[in-house]
């Protein structure tokens, strides 16, 4: 198959208005409103605010609510399929936060209780349930996460990297988001009223939606709808507020329309982001007026009915957009009594039943992360698109930070066989950053900004990067801990809005975009020890859409309380360590130099042949030894026994005898250590040799060969740095 189209073959969802597609259709027809006062947890100081809460209760055990919601949606999406999906891509912001909050509140400090805390554990939980052996990717771009996940899945299918992908979004209510949005004064006490003249804010919600996307040249019998295109952009304007003129939203919509090879006039219905906040509705309205002028299609927001389910919202709205197409339903704009005349929009006030061929669905999030999706009816007449060529990316600049110091100091230590473990002081991290930029920022965003600035400076490019890809295993721990600590110390009365804004995983990437005015895709991935590999894969998949420089950053902070609770590897090392790495990249077709490419990403669970699969992808033993002069190996301490067994198998099957560098023994244990390894590999390959202290006493010449970076353990990954 050399040309493909991408279809929704199965879909499932759960939201405050329905458990499943059928129930959701009935609720849409009845204009059901699922917003009511919070009951999921007590609010000691005030009457509970209205939220989009799912009435269904779950038995109490160690599986968090977000994971359960995601599995409910996945089971419905996969109900008619026995095949194992090739990949799982999920948008998430809260992960296991609801259970984590309870443990921290009661003083539970048993690391086993935090097994499912990580944002990335939701996708891993789903992948394990369906025995997926391929890539498992978690997107965390705040409220656009679910839609961005669909874009990444779409590009994987278009590139021929998979033929069927389970994709979606999930989030549950928790104290962090409930009190966080309240502290920003963004909650409407009467419930969300999108586009209404008297609107006062949003309603926080919860839910999940999953879709099985399949690629084919022809329309399959089970096709519900077709993913025609998607567009991503970043406002690069403010950590929370949207661009007042909707500039980023305009770009995302136009890019999605262009990607779908249609015109604005082809769109029958726009599923709005429509949160009900003053600024968001006004910004989106200006963007819609700019894109459609006086010929706007039918439009409505679902958030007055279901609330804003954060990362799940884009996926839920994608499923409902598909329902609009398959059943000819345009949902009413629940909560709106009198449309705001300033918006110059005419939302659908009552359910409309009419033919719908093409829908545009919008999702906009914190950090100015914008995503738009075009979904159409699966018509026979459309032409499939050629498979995208996955591009190699040329490294034009790099930087890293470890406990030893900056890039040069880290390379000096590793070259001399010395440890880089530990943590730099925050003043050392931020010494080259403007004081006004970092005065309210804590450790992780300062790490990300410092890495971004250093990598860009090393590139020598006069223009700044257009797109930011950020990877973090655990996100901003300082902000999360400080927010919850203040909340509990005040008996849930006081919180810090600054800490809430900074606690989302994509906050550091947003800060980098603002500094560089980077308005291209801004994507944060989070998958524990394999987060950087996910980010590099996303950058490679989306490179065809990006004309300019790409900045890929991986960073994690260590926290004296949370790191040991969340990351088992941290407990097995003698010293708290953190840091990260950054690569400034351009398309290989337009720039010469050393190239970096993600080659392999497979789930090692229930996959006894994972190393054989790796060897097969790399070529054969002769090719491996001809291509690579050194092997960089990352084995998290918590996976040391499994990882070393995998390494022995790799060496046995490949016959590789050149220098092997176990880089975590130098960097220490933190999730994004592979970002540092990528910088080290690039610099050693650039110098053409492996220092003698790493080779048993004699410098090893690479003789023009590249370096292979392997991640081992729960997942097996491979990145190459080659000439």
- Over residues 307-336, the pLDDT tens digits come to 999 999 999 999 999 999 999 999 999 999
**Residues belonging to the chain:** 723
Q: How sure is the predictor about 599, in pLDDT bands with cuts at 50, 70 and 90?
A: very high
User: Active site includes 143?
Assistant: yes
Whether residue 383 is contained in a domain is answered as: no
Residues 224, 280 share a domain = yes
> In the block, which residue shows the tokens 């939201």?
15
Question: Which one of 375, 404, 430 terminates a domain?
Answer: 375
Look over the chain and give the mean of its residue pLDDT values, rounded to a whole number: 96
CA 41 to chain CA mean position, Å: 28
Whether residue 385 is contained in a domain is answered as: no
User: CA–CA separation, 438 vs 585, rounded Å?
Assistant: 25
Q: How sure is the predictor about 1, in pLDDT bands with cuts at 50, 70 and 90?
A: low
- How confident is the model at residue 439, as a pLDDT? 87
Question: Which one of 375, 403, 429 terminates a domain?
Answer: 375
pLDDT (tens digit, 9 = 90+) per residue, 126-153? Answer: 999 999 999 999 999 999 999 999 999 9
Residues 617, 580 share a domain = yes
- How confident is the model at residue 411, as a pLDDT? 98
| pLDDT average, residue stretch 336-344 | 97
224 in Cβ contact with 25 (< 8 Å): no
User: CA–CA separation, 303 vs 626, rounded Å?
Assistant: 56
| pLDDT average, residue stretch 536-555 | 94
CB proximity list for 338: less than 8 A, separation 6 or greater: 196, 197, 198
* CATH value at residue 522: 3.40.47.10
Q: In percent, how much of the chain has pLDDT > 90?
A: 93
Q: Is the pLDDT of residue 607 over 80?
A: yes
Residues 203, 110 share a domain = yes
User: CA–CA separation, 172 vs 93, rounded Å?
Assistant: 9
Which of residues 190 and 60 earns the better pLDDT score? 190
pLDDT (tens digit, 9 = 90+) per residue, 365-417? Answer: 988 999 999 999 998 778 787 787 766 899 999 999 999 999 999 999 999 99
Residues 438, 366 share a domain = no
Residues 345, 442 share a domain = no
| pTM of the model as a whole | 0.97
Q: Tell me whether strands 329-330 and 352-353 are parallel, antiparallel or unpaired.
A: antiparallel
| pLDDT average, residue stretch 454-462 | 96
Whether residue 381 is contained in a domain is answered as: no
pLDDT (tens digit, 9 = 90+) per residue, 561-598? Answer: 999 999 999 999 999 999 999 999 998 777 778 999 99
Residues 301, 216 share a domain = yes
- How confident is the model at residue 389, as a pLDDT? 72
716 in Cβ contact with 722 (< 8 Å): no
Residues 398, 323 share a domain = no
Residues 338, 407 share a domain = no
Q: Is the pLDDT of residue 603 over 80?
A: yes
**Residue 510 to residues 186, 238, 401, 559, Cα–Cα distance (Å):** 20, 8, 20, 22
639 in Cβ contact with 610 (< 8 Å): no
State the Cα angle at 125 between 120 and 129, rounded to 5°: 150
Q: How sure is the predictor about 697, in pLDDT bands with cuts at 50, 70 and 90?
A: confident
Whether residue 327 is contained in a domain is answered as: yes
**293 CB neighbour count, 10 Å cutoff:** 9
State the Cα angle at 193 between 190 and 194, rounded to 5°: 160
Residues 132, 183 share a domain = yes
CB proximity list for 674: less than 8 A, separation 6 or greater: 529, 530, 532, 533, 554, 634, 709, 711, 717, 719
State the catalytic residue, choosing from 308, 456, 505, 559: 308
User: Active site includes 243?
Assistant: no
| pLDDT average, residue stretch 442-451 | 98
Q: Output the furthest CA–CA distance in the chain (Å, rounded).
A: 78
State the catalytic residue, choosing from 67, 273, 456, 559: 273
State the Cα angle at 405 between 403 and 411, rounded to 5°: 100
User: CA–CA separation, 501 vs 477, rounded Å?
Assistant: 13
For the chain, the C-alpha Rg in angstroms (whole number) is 24
Which residues partner with 470 through β-bridges? 524, 553
Token representation of residue 398: 């790099």
Q: Comparing 106-110, 368-372, 584-588, 652-656, which segment has the lowest mean pLDDT?
A: 584-588
pLDDT (tens digit, 9 = 90+) per residue, 486-495? Answer: 999 999 999 9
**Residue closest to 710 by CA, chosen among 624, 631, 607:** 631
User: CA–CA separation, 368 vs 521, rounded Å?
Assistant: 10
- How confident is the model at residue 696, as a pLDDT? 83
583 in Cβ contact with 679 (< 8 Å): yes
Residues 568, 440 share a domain = yes
Whether residue 384 is contained in a domain is answered as: no
Residues 402, 371 share a domain = no
Overall number of domains in the chain: 2
Q: Note down the domain range covering 511.
A: 393-722
pLDDT (tens digit, 9 = 90+) per residue, 47-99? Answer: 999 999 999 877 667 899 999 999 999 999 999 999 999 999 999 999 999 99
Whether residue 313 is contained in a domain is answered as: yes
With 0-12 / 13-18 / 19 or more C-beta atoms within 10 angstroms meaning exposed / middle / buried, residue 103 is middle
Q: In percent, how much of the chain has pLDDT > 70?
A: 99
User: CA–CA separation, 318 vs 404, rounded Å?
Assistant: 47
- How confident is the model at residue 59, as a pLDDT? 65
Q: Is the dihedral of CA 602, 372, 501, 585 positive or negative?
A: positive
401 in Cβ contact with 580 (< 8 Å): yes
- How confident is the model at residue 385, as a pLDDT? 74
- How confident is the model at residue 390, as a pLDDT? 67
- Which backbone phi and psi does 132 adopt, to 5 degrees? -70, 125
Q: Comparing 302-306, 530-534, 547-551, 686-690, which segment has the lowest mean pLDDT?
A: 547-551
pLDDT (tens digit, 9 = 90+) per residue, 221-238? Answer: 999 999 999 999 999 999
Q: Is the dihedral of CA 279, 284, 287, 289 positive or negative?
A: negative
Residues 399, 368 share a domain = no
604 in Cβ contact with 610 (< 8 Å): yes
User: Active site includes 273?
Assistant: yes
DSSP structure string for 170-199: EE---HHHHHHHHHTT-B-TT---TTBTT-
Q: How sure is the predictor about 517, in pLDDT bands with cuts at 50, 70 and 90?
A: very high
290 in Cβ contact with 20 (< 8 Å): no
CB proximity list for 645: less than 8 A, separation 6 or greater: none
Question: Which one of 346, 375, 404 terminates a domain?
Answer: 375
User: CA–CA separation, 475 vs 139, rounded Å?
Assistant: 12
| pLDDT average, residue stretch 467-492 | 98
Whether residue 445 is contained in a domain is answered as: yes
**Residue closest to 207 by CA, chosen among 314, 332, 76, 88:** 314
Whether residue 387 is contained in a domain is answered as: no
CB proximity list for 490: less than 8 A, separation 6 or greater: none
- Which backbone phi and psi does 602 adopt, to 5 degrees? -135, 150
CA 344 to chain CA mean position, Å: 33
State the catalytic residue, choosing from 67, 117, 132, 143: 143
């Amino acid at each position: 198959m050399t040309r493909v189209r991408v279809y929704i073959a199965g879909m499932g969802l759960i939201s405050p208005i329905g458990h499943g597609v059928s129930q959701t259709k009935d609720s849409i027809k009845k204009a059901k409103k699922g917003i009511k006062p919070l009951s999921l947890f007590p609010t000691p100081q005030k009457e509970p605010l209205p939220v989009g809460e799912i009435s269904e209760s779950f038995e109490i055990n160690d599986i968090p609510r977000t994971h359960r919601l995601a599995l409910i949606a996945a089971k419905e999406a996969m109900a008619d399929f026995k095949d194992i999906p090739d990949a799982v891509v999920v948008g998430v912001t809260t992960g296991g936060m609801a259970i984590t909050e309870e443990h921290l509140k009661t003083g539970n400090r048993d690391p086993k209780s935090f097994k499912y805390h990580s944002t990335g554990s939701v996708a891993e939980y789903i992948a394990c349930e369906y025995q997926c052996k391929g890539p498992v990717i978690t997107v965390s771009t705040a409220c656009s996460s679910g839609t961005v996940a669909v874009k990444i899945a779409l590009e994987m299918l278009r590139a021929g990297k998979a033929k069927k992908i389970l994709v979606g979004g999930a989030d549950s209510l928790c104290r962090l988001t409930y009190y966080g949005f309240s502290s920003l004064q963004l909650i409407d006490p009467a419930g969300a009223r999108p586009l209404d003249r008297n609107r006062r804010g949003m309603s926080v919600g919860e839910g999940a939606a999953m879709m099985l996307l399949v690629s084919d040249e022809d329309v399959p019998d089970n096709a519900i709808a077709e993913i025609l295109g998607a567009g991503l952009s970043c406002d690069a304007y403010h950590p929370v507020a949207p661009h007042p003129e909707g500039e980023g939203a305009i770009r995302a919509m136009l890019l999605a329309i262009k990607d779908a090879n249609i015109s604005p006039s082809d769109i029958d219905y726009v599923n709005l982001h429509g949160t009900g906040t003053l600024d968001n509705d006004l910004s989106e309205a200006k963007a819609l007026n700019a894109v459609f002028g006086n010929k706007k299609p039918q439009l409505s927001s679902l958030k007055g009915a279901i609330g804003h389910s954060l990362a799940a919202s884009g996926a839920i709205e994608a499923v409902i957009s598909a329902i609009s197409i398959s059943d000819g339903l345009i949902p009413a704009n629940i909560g709106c009594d009198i449309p705001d005349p300033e918006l110059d929009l005419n939302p659908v006030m009552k359910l409309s039943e009419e033919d719908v061929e093409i829908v545009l669905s919008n999702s906009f999030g914190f950090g100015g992360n914008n995503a738009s999706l075009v979904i159409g009816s699966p018509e026979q007449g459309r032409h499939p698109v050629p498979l995208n060529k996955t591009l190699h990316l040329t490294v034009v600049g790099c930087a890293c930070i470890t406990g030893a110091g900056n890039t040069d100091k880290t390379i000096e230590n590793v070259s001399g066989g010395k440890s880089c473990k530990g943590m730099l002081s925050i003043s050392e991290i931020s010494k080259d950053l403007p004081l006004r930029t970092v005065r309210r920022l804590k450790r992780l965003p300062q790490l990300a900004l410092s890495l971004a600035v250093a990598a860009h400076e090393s590139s020598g490019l006069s223009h700044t990067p257009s797109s930011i890809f950020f990877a973090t295993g655990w996100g901003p721990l300082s902000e999360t801990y400080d927010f919850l600590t203040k909340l509990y110390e005040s008996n849930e009365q006081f919180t810090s809005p600054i800490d809430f804004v900074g606690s989302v995983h994509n906050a550091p990437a947003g800060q980098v975009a603002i500094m560089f005015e980077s308005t291209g895709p801004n994507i944060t991935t989070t998958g524990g020890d394999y987060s950087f590999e996910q980010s590099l894969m996303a950058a490679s998949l989306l490179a065809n859409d990006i004309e300019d420089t790409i900045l890929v950053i991986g960073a994690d902070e260590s926290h004296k309380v949370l790191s040991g609770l969340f990351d088992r590897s941290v407990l097995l090392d003698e010293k708290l360590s953190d840091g990260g790495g950054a690569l400034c990249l351009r398309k290989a077709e337009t720039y010469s130099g050393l190239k970096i490419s993600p080659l392999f990403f497979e789930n090692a669970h229930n996959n006894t042949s994972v190393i054989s699969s790796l060897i097969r992808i790399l070529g054969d033993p002769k090719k491996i030894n001809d291509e690579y002069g050194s092997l960089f190996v990352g084995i998290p301490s918590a996976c040391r026994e499994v990882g070393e067994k995998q390494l022995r198998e790799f060496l046995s099957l490949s016959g590789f005898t050149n220098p092997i560098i176990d880089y975590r023994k130098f960097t220490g244990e933190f999730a994004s250590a592979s970002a540092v390894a990528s910088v080290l590999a690039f610099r050693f390959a650039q110098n053409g040799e492996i220092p003698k202290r790493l080779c048993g006493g004699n410098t090893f010449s690479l003789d023009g060969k590249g370096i292979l970076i392997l991640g081992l353990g729960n997942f097996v990954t491979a990145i190459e740095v080659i000439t």
